[in-house]
Chain A
Amino acid sequence: MKTTAPLTKRLPIIGAMFMGAALILGAVLWMPRGPDLAYVPELTQVDLPQGKTLYVQVHEVTLADWNRCFDAGACAVQLRPPVGRGEQLFPATGISWIDANDYITWINRNARHSFRLPTSAEWRSIAAEVIPDKPAPLFASPNLDWASAYLMEGLKSRRLEAAGSYSVTQAGVADLDGNVWEWTQDCFNDPNLPSDRCPAFYVMGEHEAVMSFLVRDPARGGCAVGSPPAHLGMRLVTDSKPGA
């Protein structure tokens, strides 16, 4: 004789089936998925000293990249290419440290991967083969430290050039020796200061400089010291390869 279990007895099984289905559906919808490669920039692997491996954006963040962030409402400024040269692809310049972090927040959310700014030490390693040796400082006396950063030779043209106009390292990183200085995460003078309290950060390029977190356009001259960067931009790095 066949016995059909009453509904009340089958409820737990049905319930479990529903819960199982719900869990699977939930997992499909809510569980962390892999990175969205549409937002992941072109990266190249760079092996740093002490066995560390970094994945470095091949080009500086470009105008086109940047304006996607602006169009999404996550970045404050819309950037334009130099007049009359709009058909070329330019690096995004005129970016403050705050802007750079807005961009990183946006891209991390959309790419579902953790990108960041390099440290100045990492930048130096990545760029070592293309950054020329520093000329001897003009002033050797310690009393003149305040003036020793002044450069009178080896200064590049300040005209903004298209992405890919400068050297490429063996590892494939381009434009480290251009006239766009790249923000790092390193706070000037006190590495322990939390970044939202730090007044100035290292920017890396042809020579090292320090810029206030607010500055978008390093104005030329004014007070005497140092040779200010021509342009401020950024490049992403990440510690893990997206999609690996």
Chain B
Amino acid sequence: MTKLYNPGLMQTSRRNVLRGTALAGAAAFVGGIATPAAARLGPYARVRPVSPMVVQAQADAIAKAAPMDLTGFARVRQELVAPPFAPVHEQVASGPPKIVEITMVTEERLMVVDEDTGASIWALTYNGSVPGPLIIVHQDDYVELTLQNPAASQMEHNIDFHASTGALGGGGLTHVFPGEETVLRWKATKPGVFTYHCAPGGEMIPYHVCHGMNGTVMVLPRDGLKDGDGNPLRYDEIAYFGEQDYYLPKDENGDYKQYEAAGDDYADSLDAMRTLTPTHSVFNGAVGALTGETALKSSVGKTVLMIHNQANRDTRPHLIGGHGNFVWQSGKFGNAPEVGLETWFVRGGSSAAALYTFEQPGVYAYVNHNLIEAALLGATAHFVVDGEWDNALMEQVAAPRPIET
């Protein structure tokens, strides 16, 4: 049992005793609720809390800052939708910067990861999906998020927007305990696709992220996407791929363990994550989630914007049968896209974007091109594309036949 350190800056309460980030006065527990699971923890490396003086200085600075003048900003409500789809939006902003209001509810739910084996996880999610929903705004817009943590939750949650500036990406200002909500407004100053994820503090950060609590915000340039010469690039469809690395604990037989409630896998999960080797790497939360009946559909001639989020681990997507015509590998639209790529790199902790216009009908696979992860861990999605075949691009000159001697 560790000592509570309270320098007298604030009253000790359930809130600051349990909070894991440095903004709490007492930072003795490194992100975790004192459940029986936590009591089984071994001696993990402790995050040294930030000096209380710094914490106080930041709190003072926030208290002294003048509120922003919101007059003149239109407010628009964005209805978020489940992945792999995108909310209704315009590619070129019509009108001046506005405040885009969204609501997200942190939901802890049991999700099947692989139907074949029954492997499942108590996922921690935004709005019930892995990844969390895609949010779309324009550069210089404001995102005003209402984040709610239902009373039935086991854990505290928050959110860190990589696209935002200050307070740990908003993480320091959005801790919500079960039964609480908070509202945060941030300015989208940079164009690009950016990861967001939960980051309650310490070990809880990888625990939440590797239980599904991450997604993408797309900040479009106000005049839409452009290539390296300034020519406009437009898309007909968006395919939003959230790649999730899961580290599911196994029993002595090698079967995936099952748990009764969210958080019960905490100690086992930390051991599994320490191996740095995922047991599953999936798109849309489950092996095969974007295949068969739920494969993505398109047509020859349509242009798709493929957004790829990996909040934790490097990956390298490849569209089998196609290419990345214009690729923002770092995911940031202030840079000219690379052209004509076969496979591109998505660094862990970021999102990337690629544009492709289909030229042939048939079935395409969008994979993490570590093929072990694609085939054995589940990192495969399918596009089914209709249209006319073009023999000029590819033709089977002779079907397989016995070798002629």
Contact = CB atoms under 8 A, between A and B. Distances in A.
A7 interface: no
A134 interface: no
A155 interface: yes
Nearest to B117: A82
Contact of A141 (B363, B371, B389): B389
A39 interface: no
B367 to A, nearest CB: 7
Interface string B271-295: 0000000000000000110011101
A159 B253 contact: no
Nearest to B380: A221
Interface string A204-235: 00000000000001011111110100110000
Nearest to B371: A222
A207 B365 CA distance: 21
Given A146-B362, A152-B295, A82 B378 contact: no
Contacts of B396: 143
Contact of B253 (A80, A144, A146, A223): A80
B251 A83 contact: yes
Nearest to A80: B253
A158 interface: yes
Contact of A150 (B287, B288, B384, B391): B384
A203 to B, nearest CB: 15
Given A83-B251, A138-B384, A223 B365 contact: yes
A147 interface: yes
Interface string B365-389: 1010001001110101110101011
Contact of B365 (A157, A158, A222): A222
Q: Which of B295, B363, B367, B375 has the most CB of A within 10 A?
A: B363
Q: Which of A83, A220, A221, A223 has the most CB of B within 10 A?
A: A221
B258 A83 contact: yes
A221 B361 CA distance: 18
A207 B345 CA distance: 37
A152 B293 contact: yes
A227 B320 contact: no
Nearest to A78: B253
B116 interface: yes
A153 interface: yes
Contacts of B117: 82
B321 interface: yes
A220 B374 contact: no
B85 interface: no
Given A80-B253, A147-B362, A224 B389 contact: no
A80 B255 contact: yes
B364 interface: yes
A80 to B, nearest CB: 6
B391 to A, nearest CB: 7
Contacts of A139: 361-362, 386
B380 A222 contact: yes
Contact of B116 (A138, A141, A151, A231): A231
Interface in B143-190: none
A219 B258 contact: no
A132 B291 CA distance: 21
B362 A219 contact: no
A83 B117 CA distance: 9
Contacts of B364: 224
Interface string A134-167: 0000110101101100111101011110000000
Contact of B367 (A84, A143, A153, A222): A222
Interface in B219-253: 251, 253
Contact of A221 (B118, B362, B374): B374
Interface string B202-221: 00000000000000000000
A158 B115 contact: yes
Contact of B291 (A84, A220, A230): A220
B245 to A, nearest CB: 17
Contacts of B116: 158-160, 217, 220, 230-231
Given A155-B293, A219-B376, A224-B382, A84 B365 contact: no
A83 B391 contact: no
Contacts of A230: 115-116
Interface string B100-143: 00000000000000011110000000000000000000000000
Nearest to A82: B118
A151 B292 contact: yes
Q: Which of A141, A159, A220 has the most CB of B within 10 A?
A: A220
B403 to A, nearest CB: 13
A155 B382 CA distance: 15
A179 B390 CA distance: 36
Nearest to A143: B389
Contacts of B256: 83
Interface in B294-320: 295, 320
B397 to A, nearest CB: 12
A219 B391 contact: no
Contacts of A225: 363
Contacts of B367: 221-222
Contacts of A157: 115
Nearest to B115: A158
B363 A147 contact: yes
A215 to B, nearest CB: 11
The 10 closest A-B pairs by CB, nearest first: A221-B380, A222-B375, A143-B389, A224-B363, A158-B115, A147-B362, A224-B365, A83-B255, A220-B288, A147-B363
Given A139-B362, A221-B288, A224-B320, 6 more contacts: A152-B293, A155-B293, A159-B116, A217-B116, A221-B381, A231-B116
22 contacts: A83-B118, A83-B255, A139-B362, A141-B361, A141-B389, A144-B361, A144-B389, A151-B292, A153-B293, A155-B293, A158-B116, A159-B115, A160-B116, A219-B375, A220-B288, A221-B287, A221-B288, A222-B367, A222-B374, A222-B375, A224-B320, A224-B363
